[in-house]
Amino acid sequence: MTCRFLPAVFTRYFLPFRYMLRSGILSISGILLLSGLLGQQLPAQDAAASRIDFGRDIRPILSNNCFRCHGPDDEKREADLRLDSFENATRDLGGHSAIKPGDVHASLALQRILSTDPDQKMPPESTGLKLTVREVELLKQWVQQGAEYQQHWAFRPIARPPEPAIDSKGISSGWPVNAIDRFVFAKLAPLNIQPSPEADRTTLIRRVYLDLTGLPPTVEDVERFVSDTSPDAYTTMVDHALASPHYGERWGRHWLDQARYADTNGYTIDSERSLWPFRDWVIRALNSDMPFDQFTVEQLAGDLLPQPTLDQLVASGFHRNTLINEEGGTDDEQFRNEAVVDRVNTTGAVWLGLTVGCAQCHTHKYDPLSHREYYQLFAFFNQGQDINTTEPVVQVPTTEQAQQLSEMEQKVADAKAAVAEYEDGSVTGSQLVDWTVVSVDSITSIGGALFETLEDQSLLASADNMANEKYTITFRSPRKNITAIRLETLTHPSLPANGPGRADNGNFVLNELTLQAQPQPATATATATATATATATATAPGDALHASWMYATADHSQRDYAVADAVDGKQETGWAINVPSGSLNVNRTAIFVMKVLPVSEGSQITVEMFFGPKPPAYNLGRFRLSVTSAPHSCLDVPDEERARLLAAQKSLEDARKNLTSQIPTTLIMGDLKTPRETNILVRGDFLRKGDVVQPAVPAVFPPLAEQGSGQPAENSETAASVRATRLDLARWLVDGRNPLTARVTVNRIWARYFGQGLVETENDFGLQGTPPTHPELLDWLASEFMQQGWSLKKLHRLIVTSATYRQSSNQRPDLRNSDPLNKLLARQVRLRVDAEVVRDLGLAVSGLLNNRIGGASVYPPQPDGVYAFTQRNAAWPVSQGADRYRRGLYTFFMRSAPYPMLTTFDTPRFDTTCTMRIRSNTPLQSLAMANDQSMLEIARALGKRIQHLSEGDSQSDGQGDSQRIQFAFRICFARPARPAEAQRLTAFLERLRQDLQSTPEEAAQVAGVETKADGSTSDTNVVESAAWTLLARTLLNLDEFIVRE
């Protein structure tokens, strides 16, 4: 960076360019300025007796010419000489010193400055710097008067100067209204300059409305104010505007500029992010007149406040407006570092009005901010969890969503409880299944097999082995309420290949298994019958119960021979156990689960097993049966009821997820639990780490009041971790002892009303900045601001109700020479409104405006092809309905391709903080106003509004026209048209009518009316509509339309 002044040759070439900054980023030397304007304050060149003021007269000379080599920066210091403090400048350098108070001849620095020897002369010729005769004279006088150093004005504590007494004789009527006017007039009076008269009421109300709300007053608003004869008509009007919810939008936009708010991540991919809840928080906070100190703390450290509210977390999004680079192959640490740098620089610019960024690479050349101190500030912001990432975020439900969510949470909880309750009720006793091996009473075979009961109660088949076999087994139930039967198929040496089946390879195919039972044990008489005939149609007692299978499982099933096939009611399918590799001749277990079979202990149960109808035979060789009453839940059975309950729970959970996904999120700040170490970065390079530093504020300022607030409790207990936090820094910024925050804030607000601040370099209150034109007024306002509890609305009211503010903005020939920059504030200024307000004005006057406040950003129509030049052909889902006509500040802001209308009118890109916008005046603006689709829509709507003012007037009735033109003027400019203006518009209208008459198709195009096949249109008088559209277009394109007068 170059922090030096430019040589004169450059100045010569570049002076004339009118289009350069209008934003107060100027650095005209205070001396020069004051010498021209406020000559009475300065020591006249020959008035040796007058007192030199160090800050006003000397420091700029030293700062501009000497400090680069003899200032605070250790690395660039020459000859080990510092001229930036009394101690250093007067230090004994071996019998002499650079500055010897009271003695020019003994002051070496002066002698070098006065030297004619090119090798001796200071500043050296190579720097291109040269002191003027006058500057040298001032330095001499200063040394003679004692070479007093004073602290830079902006770093001194804010004192409350007394309001100057002014002579009320000869002052303009209406002056003074409040203290502001006394301070302003105190500067005017000695110069015999009168303030400008108050602007007329139509100008005043439009000025106040545009300044406070960014919207024009309605015709009714204007009429009410103009006809209000009460003495407090003006303050009533101001209070009305201040109470408008649109105040938060207008001043929120100013703040969002400083917060560098945008809707995308920046850099190349530049994808969408959700941070608009932060934007809405700003609007709400301002509308509720949140005190500026609280406003500050919540944004800089809302996340560190004790038990932060959702609002406070959202507020902490201020510093999440930094860029995120999503490009492939990036080093996240590099971009994390850049985000932190931006946070430091933004905080410095917004609250301190200092160019702290200058110290990122080296000690500040002019201001008392060392390279080390920069990284001490950096350390406050170096603790973030975000590492070039979107996280951390927080959900921000609307009231309605919060309500729905809470209802949904309850429903999910209920569903979970229902599942738990069901499971509790259905699970009894041990989770282990208690199987009872059954003692078989009888077993028969229709194919001639014979059975042997082995010691383990298993049955072993022998003898005939025929196809189409059926085994029928009966036994008495060892338990009541059977829930499952287990079939163990077992190997035996007597079987082919050891079994367990009787096929050649030892396999079997159990085609079907059935089970039925008597509900009650048979009576003594019945028993015999039952045992004798084990058929399903046994007579008694009660009807037979048939197992209703729910589920089957086995430790192995052959492919295409699933165990479930044994209970599917089909003879064609069955369970088998061959294996693709290894041996099939191992024991296997199948479990068949049924609905609870309400049998009693001792009830007779009959099991039938069917084997393949066709040869070869695949009968079972050895097996054993067991039963259990274990609950289904223990049997791993898909439980329909449970499944139903779980499904209900899942669908509710899905609904909750769906609801949650609709809840907007917003990026917030969050610090790491374990602090990150901060190093000085050599030359600002994140790869070159220097000394470790701790968070601290620069030494030139009062110290932090607190240290360690907002740290997690476990951290704050250890002494080593009592490190200052972001919260400490935020509180320090709005501590009454901080000399800058209040001054910077009131100055910036002042600048929005007068086009420039009392300190013209509103973002540089350092030594290179311009001194205030009205230092006492600045300090008084800063002090008043704090005294009024940091209330922004009170500050606005104070300024807006002053006579100074109410002056006419017309240029004054009598001041052209004496005050061309309007430093004396003897008039108001005309200011072109900001880009968003250009749009708002159009929407408001045409009646299209949807004045809904807040919500996700919207996509008004934009010209095609905006993305032809971006990497990502981003979607621009043009908003339909009312969202098409939202205020400009709600327009989706894509950093890599912002809405054209906005950038055309100087909305910055928000890659970094913008404390004051540029105001340019270009042909592209003309094209946008004249031809943009949105503006055409607005022109048509406005045209219609004017045209239909008074139905019944004949179309070309001259009187009707003139009424309409007057009405149009009132809508657009809040004032009536002057005769010459009305005349010009009438002539224009007449010509349009004649011209359009001959080309009805073109008239239809202008009016936006469909032409039917037969040439007719839905609009009965399309020429009239077109003429009024074009007249409206003309009004929208007048300079006055987009200017606050």
Q: What angle do CA 934, 937, 943 make, to 5 degrees?
A: 140
- Residues 844-863 within binding reach of other proteins (CB under 8 A): 863
Residue whose tokens read 């020019």: 104
Task: Report the distance separating Cα 856 and Cα 862, nearest Å.
Answer: 18
Quote the least distance from Cβ 27 to other proteins, whole Å. Answer: 5
Task: Report the distance separating Cα 690 and Cα 746, nearest Å.
Answer: 38
Tokens at residue 778, please? 């600045």
* Residue 53 in the binding site for other proteins (CB under 8 A): no
Task: Report the distance separating Cα 305 and Cα 303, nearest Å.
Answer: 6
* Residue 1039 in the binding site for other proteins (CB under 8 A): yes
Which residue's CB is nearer to other proteins, number 325 or number 891? Answer: 325
Which residue's CB is nearer to other proteins, number 4 or number 794? Answer: 4
* Residue 407 in the binding site for other proteins (CB under 8 A): no
Binding test (CB under 8 A) with other proteins, winner from 545, 547, 627, 1026? 1026
Which residue's CB is nearer to other proteins, number 407 or number 1001? Answer: 1001
Q: How far is CA 175 from CA 178, 775, 865, in A?
A: 8, 21, 55
Tokens at residue 996, please? 């359009």
Binding test (CB under 8 A) with other proteins, winner from 449, 552, 781, 992? 992
Binding test (CB under 8 A) with other proteins, winner from 103, 200, 272, 331? 331
- Residues 8-27 within binding reach of other proteins (CB under 8 A): 8-11, 13-22, 25-27
- Residues 738-757 within binding reach of other proteins (CB under 8 A): 756
Which residue's CB is nearer to other proteins, number 513 or number 1032? Answer: 1032
Give kind and range of the element (H or E) at residue 623: strand 622-628
Binding test (CB under 8 A) with other proteins, winner from 821, 853, 856, 949? 821
Binding test (CB under 8 A) with other proteins, winner from 388, 626, 822, 857? 822
Tokens at residue 56, please? 């006003």
Binding test (CB under 8 A) with other proteins, winner from 736, 900, 960, 976? 900
Residue span binding other proteins (CB under 8 A) among the ranges 471-479, 733-741, 759-767, 951-959: 759-767
- Residues 906-935 within binding reach of other proteins (CB under 8 A): 906, 909, 911-912, 915, 918, 920-928, 930-932
**For residue 809, what are the contacts with CB-CB under 8 A and spacing of at least 6?**
196, 199, 203, 827, 828, 829, 830, 1045
Residue span binding other proteins (CB under 8 A) among the ranges 551-559, 671-679, 781-789, 900-908: 900-908
* Residue 209 in the binding site for other proteins (CB under 8 A): no
Which residue's CB is nearer to other proteins, number 18 or number 169? Answer: 18
Which residue's CB is nearer to other proteins, number 577 or number 985? Answer: 985
Which residue's CB is nearer to other proteins, number 162 or number 863? Answer: 863
Quote the least distance from Cβ 899 to other proteins, whole Å. Answer: 11
Quote the least distance from Cβ 30 to other proteins, whole Å. Answer: 9
Quote the least distance from Cβ 44 to other proteins, whole Å. Answer: 14
Binding test (CB under 8 A) with other proteins, winner from 137, 464, 653, 995? 995
Which residue's CB is nearer to other proteins, number 926 or number 1016? Answer: 926
Quote the least distance from Cβ 655 to other proteins, whole Å. Answer: 40
Binding test (CB under 8 A) with other proteins, winner from 416, 480, 595, 984? 984
Which residue's CB is nearer to other proteins, number 642 or number 919? Answer: 919
* Residue 332 in the binding site for other proteins (CB under 8 A): no
Quote the least distance from Cβ 566 to other proteins, whole Å. Answer: 52
Task: Report the distance separating Cα 937 and Cα 1008, nearest Å.
Answer: 9
* Contact pattern for other proteins over residues 240 through 279, marking x by CB under 8 A: --------------------------xxx-x---------
Phi–psi pair at 487, nearest 5 degrees: -115, 115
- Residues 333-362 within binding reach of other proteins (CB under 8 A): 338, 349, 354-355, 357-358
Residue type, 582: G
**CA neighbours closer than 13 Å in the CB half-sphere of residue 285:** 27
* Residue 733 in the binding site for other proteins (CB under 8 A): no
1011: three-class secondary structure by DSSP? strand
Residue span binding other proteins (CB under 8 A) among the ranges 232-240, 293-301, 320-328, 609-617: 320-328
Q: Do 246 and 884 touch, CB atoms closer than 8 A?
A: no
Residue type, 902: L
- Residues 942-981 within binding reach of other proteins (CB under 8 A): 978, 980-981
DSSP 619: -
Task: Report the distance separating Cα 150 and Cα 85, nearest Å.
Answer: 9
* Residue 137 in the binding site for other proteins (CB under 8 A): no
**For residue 668, what are the contacts with CB-CB under 8 A and spacing of at least 6?**
302, 303, 313, 314, 316, 317, 320, 392, 393, 394
- Residues 677-716 within binding reach of other proteins (CB under 8 A): none
Binding test (CB under 8 A) with other proteins, winner from 222, 461, 627, 1003? 1003
Task: Report the distance separating Cα 744 and Cα 258, nearest Å.
Answer: 13
Q: How far is CA 832 from CA 22, 289, 799, 906, in A?
A: 11, 27, 20, 11
Of 795, 796, 797, 777, the residue nearest 785 (C-alpha): 795
Task: Report the distance separating Cα 597 and Cα 629, nearest Å.
Answer: 9
Phi–psi pair at 623, nearest 5 degrees: -160, 170
- Residues 55-74 within binding reach of other proteins (CB under 8 A): 60, 64
DSSP 727-754: HHHHHHHTSTT-SSHHHHHHHHHHHHHH
Residue type, 948: H
Number of residues that bind other proteins (CB under 8 A): 132
Which residue's CB is nearer to other proteins, number 198 or number 298? Answer: 198
DSSP 448-512: -EEEEE-TTS-EEEEE---SS-EEEEEEE-SSSSEEEEEEEE---TTSGGG-SBSSTTS---EEE
Which residue's CB is nearer to other proteins, number 62 or number 704? Answer: 62
Q: How far is CA 432 from CA 93, 290, 436, 485, in A?
A: 96, 65, 13, 15
Binding test (CB under 8 A) with other proteins, winner from 115, 442, 870, 950? 870
Judge residue 638's burial from the number of C-beta atoms within 10 Å of its C-beta, 0-12 exposed, 13-18 middle, 19 or more buried: exposed
Residue span binding other proteins (CB under 8 A) among the ranges 45-53, 145-153, 520-528, 765-773: 765-773
- Residues 588-607 within binding reach of other proteins (CB under 8 A): none
Q: Do 534 and 474 touch, CB atoms closer than 8 A?
A: yes
Give kind and range of the element (H or E) at residue 337: helix 332-347
Find out whether the peptide bond into 72 is cis, omega within 30 degrees of 0: no
Residue span binding other proteins (CB under 8 A) among the ranges 114-122, 326-334, 481-489, 658-666: 326-334
Tokens at residue 471, please? 């085994």
Residue span binding other proteins (CB under 8 A) among the ranges 472-480, 534-542, 846-854, 990-998: 990-998
Tokens at residue 579, please? 């294996």
Binding test (CB under 8 A) with other proteins, winner from 509, 749, 936, 965? 936
Quote the least distance from Cβ 33 to other proteins, whole Å. Answer: 8
Quote the least distance from Cβ 64 to other proteins, whole Å. Answer: 6
* Residue 32 in the binding site for other proteins (CB under 8 A): yes
Quote the least distance from Cβ 1038 to other proteins, whole Å. Answer: 5
Residue span binding other proteins (CB under 8 A) among the ranges 76-84, 546-554, 760-768, 840-848: 760-768
- Cβ atoms < 10 Å from Cβ of 868: 8
**For residue 792, what are the contacts with CB-CB under 8 A and spacing of at least 6?**
251, 286, 289, 292, 295, 749
